[in-house]
Structure 1
Amino acid sequence: MSDESQPYIYADNAATTPLSPAALQAMMPYLTTEFGNPGGIHRIAKAAAQALEVARAKMAEHLGANAHELYFTSGGSESDNWVLHGAVERYRDRFGTTAPTCIITSVIEHHAILHACDALERDGVRIVLLPVDEMGHVRVDDLERALVDAREASHAAGIDAPGCALVSIMLANNEVGTIEDIPALAARAHTHGVPMHTDAVQAVGHIPVDVDALGVDALSLSAHKFHGPRGVGALYLRESFSIPPFIEGGAQERGMRAGTENVAGAIGMEAALAEALDGLDDRRTRVAQLRDRLVQHVLDTCPDVHYTGDPDSGRRLPSIASFAIRDVDGELLVVLFDRAGVAAATGSACSTGSTDPSHVAVALGIDDPAWARGTLRLSLADDVCDADIDALCERVPRCIKRARLMSGSCAV
């Protein structure tokens, strides 16, 4: 039952975060008085253009990049699509349109990657989906085998080329929070002459992200995952990794992405990231400790609950607690959480009596429908406190118990 007297706890921060007051304050002039189009040549336009470039330089600095390597986009999905399609076009320009080529990615990627790969597959690109272990890690040896296979396929066609246009592996998984060993994967891709991209949408602002330390040639991010505005993100492209424009029509973003720039959004994104990085290490430690207290309580009080992802805090996003729960329908569970005053998420959905399990859960080996249809993700806020965890420790077991009693109507 709903209890309106209790404070509502937002535990779905991996989906989106509330806009930071600092970001809003930074944006306000560019939503009101400083409204110029940065493509013009008069003083109002020039002021907007200057502000945009200051935001670009600061964003690049936050990522360990150069300003000319950063392109503003509408968010992570656009950035992912741009780099995948662009990498294939780049490869075909170098080795010919008939050259066999593939994209190597993983089975647990965000659908922005997976669906873009589906489109590329229809265009003749071979898509290689690497498996993961039971904690969600991509293995370097699996990548090595895929890279060797790609080169051999190219040589079999009489073309001296890597056979792979891009390796794209996410930095941190959005469902279970597992952090991938991107430096090792990037190094292995580079030994085969293949560029490396990482979807860092879930990671930026939550763990340190430096493009040189990661060794990547491209990186995607989205502002609304770290208290920036929705509808703005960025794509980092290393200077040595050039791809064709994604949107034609104008000279914006140095001719790489047409369309009047979202000046307010870019400025808000930089302000939010600067705030997120201030005191990041201490905040990571505090949030992870509170998350671990919640996880332990759930495991101690709820039978047939499995903690998913890597349990090592050093290899997991600090804010994400994820579970597979036996004999529970995930969608029903989320509804019960909402009624109990908690915003949560599930990786499965119940529709007309059938359950479509999370592709991430299945990839982790949770393929028994009794478990796979009951995935739960609680993603904690940066300012989560002991009182919030106390409330979650009371509400989560209660909702799981109630969901078990009610899940028969949506059973497989």
Structure 2
Amino acid sequence: MKNIYMDHAASTPIHPEVAEAMFAVMREQYGNASSVHSFGRAAKRLVNGARDRVGELVGCHPDELVFTGGGTESDNLALFGAAEARSDRGRHIITTQVEHHAVLHTCRKLEEQGFEVTYLPVDRYGQVHAEQVAEAIRPDTILVSVMYANNEVGTIQPIAEIGEITSSRDIVFHVDAVQALGALPIDCDGLPVDLMSFSSHKINGPQGIGALYIRRELPIEPILYGGLQERKRRAGTENMAGIAGFAKAAELAAGSLPGRAARDEELRGVLISALEREVGGSHFHVNGHPSLRLPHIVNISFPECDTETMLMNLDMEGIAVASGSACSSGSLEPSHVLEAMHLPQNLLRSAIRFSFGLGNTTEDMETAAEKVGTILTRLRKRR
């Protein structure tokens, strides 16, 4: 039985060239970039060169990038750091109900620290509208955080329009672009954003390394202390192999962006067409925005089968997909994203996220659809 990995929105396989770049560093580079001797200077050159390449992918000056331990840390540094730096101006923050938990849980913690957070609702496609942000702004609003594209349904948010509103009112704007990186063109300097979070393992790079774009001259308080690394914004000895891998992954992603988007659209089309043939168009529903979406994420509800049953059955068939739901005490809880979209219960509790990328083929899409059809047919016969 061939195993098929269709959970690229959670983490992607490392590209062979990325692994080679990392192995070279682990074999040959063991200096500390903070040291003044030749080994340290070589390490510093590696870090600076990597920063240059990642900066090219996201469209910013290298000194505006801080390397972090991943997307979660980037989100935490952005929110805690900006809130603390601007707390003398106000204590009101705006975000949405469909953010990643790295943002939502940070906002909950900020509420415990005396900040007030407004969680904006979304429409049935999972999209927030710029006018909602404008209406929610108060005289004491200091920070807005809205993700670039949703990790569960792929819906793209109107980042440029929201940024125009926040910049005109001197409000810091943070964007979680972890899922958008490598899937959409990103130009930090060309967008009205102040902070943007990234993670390497979404673009066929290693886990445990990410970055935060911080607009020049924007004050931000660090959340880690103990060293002067990253221009005093993130203490800790640099993860040399991870940084090298991130840089190589960024270089590959930048060179393949148009082709990857076209390929992902092809895979998406094959999957949906095959499901229409194997399952029937009336037996499944695609969640999320029909056009303003990431091409590699397809969130589909199968009302005849609950999420957990479909997940387990597909796993037994060697197909790895995801629910987008939280797991608590061994049972799945409904996705907070789909709940915010006010999906009917039969769609909410039967949603599966298919996400694909490096290594996936059209044959994989056909096979996945066939297995879904077989599972649904088997369940019908039991009733």
TM-score exceeds 0.5: yes
Residue matched to 1:387: 363
Shift of 1:402: 4.2
Residue matched to 2:241: 264
Match of 2:129 among 131, 136, 139: 139
Q: Secondary structure at the match of 1:219?
A: strand
Match of 1:30 among 1, 25, 31: 25
Pairwise CA RMSD? 1.9
How far apart in 2 are the matches of 1:198 and 1:403? 42
Match of 2:354 among 357, 372, 378: 378
How far apart in 2 are the matches of 1:396 and 1:213? 43
Residue matched to 1:248: 225
Shift of 1:403: 5.7
Residue matched to 1:187: 164
Q: Secondary structure at the match of 2:47?
A: helix
Moved more, 222-231 or 208-217: 208-217
Residue matched to 1:110: 100
Match runs of 1:393-404 below 5 Å: 393-402=369-378
Moved >6 Å (runs of 4+)? 350-354
Q: Which is bigger in relative contact order (C-alpha 8 A, separation at least 6)?
A: 2
How far apart in 2 are the matches of 1:391 and 1:328? 19
| Structure 2 contact 275–370 (Cα < 8 Å) conserved | no
Residue matched to 1:21: 16
Asked if 1:311 corresponds to 2:311, the answer is no
How far apart in 2 are the matches of 1:53 and 1:352? 45
The change in CA–CA distance for 1:264 and 1:349 in structure 2 (over 3 A counts) is closer
Residue matched to 1:9: 4
Match of 2:325 among 339, 345, 348: 348
Residue matched to 1:293: 270
For residue 62 of structure 1, what is the amino acid of its counterpart?
L
| Structure 2 contact 13–358 (Cα < 8 Å) conserved | no
How far apart in 2 are the matches of 1:167 and 1:198? 8
The change in CA–CA distance for 1:166 and 1:204 in structure 2 (over 3 A counts) is same
How far apart in 1 are the matches of 2:144 and 2:152? 21
How far apart in 2 are the matches of 1:299 and 1:352? 35
Q: Secondary structure at the match of 1:189?
A: helix
Shift of 1:33: 2.0
Moved more, 133-142 or 349-358: 349-358
Q: Secondary structure at the match of 1:279?
A: helix
Give the TM-score normalised by structure 2: 0.94
Q: Secondary structure at the match of 2:343?
A: coil
Residue matched to 1:277: 254
Shift of 1:259: 0.7
Residue matched to 1:239: 216
| Structure 2 contact 67–230 (Cα < 8 Å) conserved | yes
**Structure 1 alignment gaps of length 5 or more:** 152-162
How far apart in 1 are the matches of 2:28 and 2:331? 53
For residue 203 of structure 2, what is the amino acid of its counterpart?
F
How far apart in 2 are the matches of 1:398 and 1:12? 21
Q: Secondary structure at the match of 1:166?
A: strand
Residue matched to 2:71: 76
Shift of 1:331: 2.0
How far apart in 2 are the matches of 1:214 and 1:255? 25
Asked if 1:198 corresponds to 2:188, the answer is no
How far apart in 1 are the matches of 2:207 and 2:327? 28
Residue matched to 2:53: 58
Shift of 1:405: 7.0
Between Structure 1 and Structure 2, how many residues are aligned?
381
| Structure 2 contact 264–296 (Cα < 8 Å) conserved | yes
Shift of 1:393: 2.4
Residue matched to 1:154: none
| Structure 1 contact 52–266 (Cα < 8 Å) conserved | yes
The change in CA–CA distance for 1:187 and 1:337 in structure 2 (over 3 A counts) is same
Shift of 1:121: 0.5
Moved more, 328-337 or 201-210: 328-337
The change in CA–CA distance for 1:217 and 1:316 in structure 2 (over 3 A counts) is same
The change in CA–CA distance for 1:401 and 1:126 in structure 2 (over 3 A counts) is farther
Q: Deviations over 1:197-220 (max 9, x none)?
A: 110000111111111333211100
Q: Deviations over 1:276-304 (max 9, x none)?
A: 22131122112212202212332452444
Match runs of 1:84-99 below 5 Å: 84-93=79-88, 95=89, 99=90
Moved more, 243-252 or 111-120: 243-252
For residue 334 of structure 1, what is the amino acid of its counterpart?
L
Match of 1:168 among 145, 148, 154: 145
Q: Deviations over 1:91-127 (max 9, x none)?
A: 124x3xxx4x211111100000000000001111111
How far apart in 1 are the matches of 2:322 and 2:29? 38
| Structure 1 contact 287–384 (Cα < 8 Å) conserved | no
| Structure 1 contact 330–375 (Cα < 8 Å) conserved | yes
Residue matched to 2:340: 363
Q: Deviations over 1:243-292 (max 9, x none)?
A: 01121111111111111011111111010111122131122112212202
Q: What percentage of aligned pairs have identical amino acids? A: 39
| Structure 1 contact 79–233 (Cα < 8 Å) conserved | yes
**Structure 2 alignment gaps of length 5 or more:** none
Q: Secondary structure at the match of 2:20?
A: helix
| Structure 1 contact 330–350 (Cα < 8 Å) conserved | no
Asked if 1:229 corresponds to 2:210, the answer is no
Give the TM-score normalised by structure 1: 0.88
